[in-house]
Structure 1
């Protein structure tokens, strides 16, 4: 005959096959995540190599073309020297014209300055002037061009004989200028392609994660349905037997109701939840009190509420409690069932937010793990699917338009998670 409640709470243990399946699922999720990251890095490396190769090759082309243009201007200077220092002959003029045409062919802007440091429109190449422009206006434009050319290239001297020297100033052709800036344009295009590829991979990764955890949640809800019906029948059987302490049936029924709520949560994953204006402090406090009785007695909870009693936020109570549960259970595991969990609620006056900090005295985590803690399938435990914190982050950020992140963590001292919610205006 059963006359009293057992002193030791029975613990639910996963079947070894279930543990093995959870580990396989976790590895599968992590493999998928790592594979996506691998392809992302490969594309980044390929784009980087293409960019570096293009920049190097274009630089060689620019240098070669610049040298060729310099040779053409030097040839033009040699033609001028030859004409000025030779007896007048029509053949010399033809040679000079050919050389000038070569400079024109490459569209190299050039200005000849005579020994008196004067330059006229007739002594400029590849510089156009409007038909109605006055000589003074042309001279001003020529002087401006000369100033630019002096900064770009050193002049090429033209020996005129008898101690006289002229100079040819020139600048890069339009083709060379285009080619010089082309690598930057190409690099910008490469960066744009890389950014679009990153967005595509990120979108595909998130979509795949969503399909995995939505399918897993619905399948879990489906699998829980049959044993829950059986447990409810057992509760009614215990109640009908006068030899069984009624408190046992009541406690079992509470846990069955809890399991039914969890099943409802899983079955609603993937659909848009209904949000209501809820008292945040009351929900958090009541749920922490409920949770404290169902974890190790060596774990002590403390709630520090700094919110006004009337402070509310738009919440889906069931899903929000699920977030608190996932974070707290993660903290219990990090402390190996022994330690303190502190929940602090506050609403800074400078923001319209509610901050909920959940701190533990567990083993903490490294910076590398902090960056991966919300990745699906990542877990430092041998058991579990590594989806609890992933689901929690999605619930807060996608459904409640808030934020969930690791505020701080120190190896050997503990971790603090922070939840940010949009606070309702208190009238």
Structure 2
């Protein structure tokens, strides 16, 4: 028969087999997300190699086509030179037509300039319909200036008169082919971006279903043993031979479990939101939490908000966020240090900022970018879900933001929560 409160409160210890299974499940959970990240990197590398390969192969084709076009223009220059220097009466009409057809086939714009620098022959030059002779001359001169910059002139020897020159530009086909790899790269990146958005949306939807299912199942599974425990509490109270303090201690743990059940139930459904005085919620919960962590951790709350400043929130879920961040801070400090909580609001805004700073070991920039990822944890037995849930609660349910404001190795970390406040009047807002 129990007659006195035990000197030392018994602690629950996980069975070694259950602990091993829990660690295996955690590793499996983290490996799943690591494999997904690895899969994304593999896909990105494959796309990069395909793009580079396409670029090099297209450049190879462009070089070959450019060489071919240069040969056609040189052949045209030789035929033109032969025709100019030929004896009167010789007929090169057929030969010139064949060569010009070859140049026209590739649509290579070319201009022959005589020994005096005046344009004479023009092929594959396009002029606007009904354009005047003056307008055509301007187009020819502009095209000639551009051709001089694109390719070296091909000389045409004129017997006894000096040299003429042929200038030319790349064909339309060659110009388009030069642009093709960049257009295809842009298209591939755009399609890849759309695929990434679709994949991310599908994955988030899947994660949401998992979160909801897990939360509902957890709340459901906790319901039956809680009812049984409450019955045992009432029984202990009704039994005169049992010390009443035992029932009180058990009831405290039952209330704690009921709060956890309520939190999971809220995660699994649309939570009820109420106007709450944010400073009171934070201060009261910090007082509650301070008694349940290491006595070597000191909490300091600085409230710079206007009196009665309220926020639309779900109190149970919001306290869960504070708890997750503070417990991570306690772990980072190895149970020894300070946690400072500052509540403030920039003047004339609807924004409330809650900064939670610790004097722990800090974190690297790489870890700062991954700290909210599901499955990421720096603790051996951590599941890496606490901060993920905190981010979900703040962003999805409270339409706010939570992020690592700053962190320095060996000095500590500051988390910032941003909430949308309810304006409580001009006079009180001026006091902020």
TM category, shorter: over 0.9
* Cα deviation digits, residues 146-176 of structure 1 (max 9, x gap): 1221121122111111032211111111000
How many angstroms apart in 1 are the aligned matches of 2:8 and 2:331?
Answer: 20
Q: Counterpart of 1:336 in 2: which secondary structure? A: coil
Tell me the residue number matched to 2:358: 360
1:40–1:201 Cα contact (<8 Å) kept: no
Distance 1:348 1:10 in 2: 48
The structure-2 alpha-carbon separation of the partners of 1:420 and 1:22, relative to structure 1 and needing over 3 Å to count, comes to: farther
Residue pair 2:115, 2:161 contacting (<8 A) in 1 also? no
> 1:45 — aligned with what?
45
- Check 1:337–1:6 CA distance in 2 against 1; reply closer, same or farther (3 A cut): farther
Query: C-alpha separation between the residues in 2 aligned to 1:384 and 1:140?
Result: 76
Equivalence for 1:330: 328
Cα–Cα, structure 1 residues 381 and 131, in superposed 2: closer, same or farther, change >3 Å? closer
Per-residue CA deviation, residues 297-355 of structure 1 (Å, 9 max, x unaligned), is 22221111111112111111111011111111222222232222211111122643111
In structure 2, the CA distance between the partners of 1:384 and 1:227, relative to structure 1 (3 Å rule), is: farther
Rounded to whole Å, the distance in 1 between the matches of 2:2 and 2:137 is 115
**Which residue of structure 2 aligns with residue 286 of structure 1?**
284
1:141 corresponding residue in structure 2: 139
Distance apart, 1:64 and its partner CA: 1.0
DSSP-derived class of the 2:88 partner:
coil
Q: 1:304 to 1:130 in 2, by over 3 A?
A: closer
- Return the offset for 1:262: 1.2
Give the distance between the partners of 2:406 and 2:15, measured in 1 at CA.
Answer: 35
Q: Distance in 2 between matches of 1:135 and 1:13?
A: 98
Q: Give the unaligned 5+ runs of structure 2.
A: 426-432
Deviates more, 1:137-146 or 1:13-22: 13-22
Aligned-partner Cα distance in 2 for 1:124–1:93: 16
1:105 — aligned with what?
A: 105
* More moved, 169-178 vs 268-277: 268-277
Q: Which whole-Å CA distance do the structure 1 matches of 2:52 and 2:404 have between them?
A: 38
Match of 1:298 in 2: 296
Change over 3 Å in CA distance of 1:426–1:215 after alignment to 2: same
Contact 1:43 1:194 in 2 (8 A): no
Deviation at 1:243, TM superposition (A): 4.3
Following superposition, the deviation at residue 232 of structure 1 comes to 0.8
Instruction: Answer yes or no: is 1:176 the counterpart of 2:174.
Output: yes
How far apart are residue 373 of structure 1 and its match?
1.9
1:189 corresponds, among 184, 187, 199, to 187
Once the two structures are overlaid, the 10-residue window that deviates more, 240-249 or 379-388, is: 240-249
Q: Tell me, which stretches of 5 or more residues in structure 1 are unaligned?
A: none
Cα distance in 2 for residues equivalent to 1:18 and 1:221: 21
| Residue correspondence of structure 1 range 301-320 to structure 2 within 5 A | 301-320=299-318
C-alpha separation in 1, matches of 2:24 and 2:384: 11
Q: How far is 1:125 from its partner?
A: 0.3
- 1:4, CA displacement in angstroms? 7.0
Larger relative CO (CA 8 A, sep 6+): 1 or 2? 1
Instruction: Check 1:230–1:18 CA distance in 2 against 1; reply closer, same or farther (3 A cut).
Output: farther
1:70-101 alpha-carbon deviations (Å, 9 max, x no partner): 11111111111101111134542221221111
How far off its partner does 1:376 sit? Answer: 1.8
- Describe the SS at the equivalent of 2:157: strand
CA deviation digits over 1:31-83, x for unaligned, max 9?
A: 11111111111111111111001100111111111111111111111111101
Q: Secondary structure at the match of 2:338?
A: strand
Q: Distance in 2 between matches of 1:416 and 1:131?
A: 70
Answering whether residue 65 of structure 2 is matched by residue 65 of structure 1, we say yes
Aligned 1:118-157 pairs, distance under 5 A? 118-120=118-120, 123-130=121-128, 132-157=130-155
* More displaced stretch, 219-228 vs 33-42: 219-228
Cα drift, residue 8 of structure 1 = 4.7
* Contact 1:352–1:422 (CA under 8 A) maintained in structure 2: yes
- Gap change, CA 1:356 and 1:16, over 3 Å in 2: farther
1:32 aligns with 2:64: no
**Displacement of 1:212 after TM fit?**
3.4
Shift of 1:113: 1.3
Q: Look up the match of 2:400.
A: 402
Structure 1 vs Structure 2 CA RMSD: 2.2
Determine helix, strand or coil for the equivalent of 2:407. Answer: strand
Q: SS at the partner of 2:107?
A: coil
SS in 2 for 1:425: coil
1:9: how far off? Answer: 4.6
| 1:417–1:229 Cα change, 3 Å | same
1:191 & 1:398 partners in 2: Cα distance?
30
SS at structure 2 position matched to 1:307: coil
**8 Å Cα contact 2:402-2:415 kept in structure 1:** yes
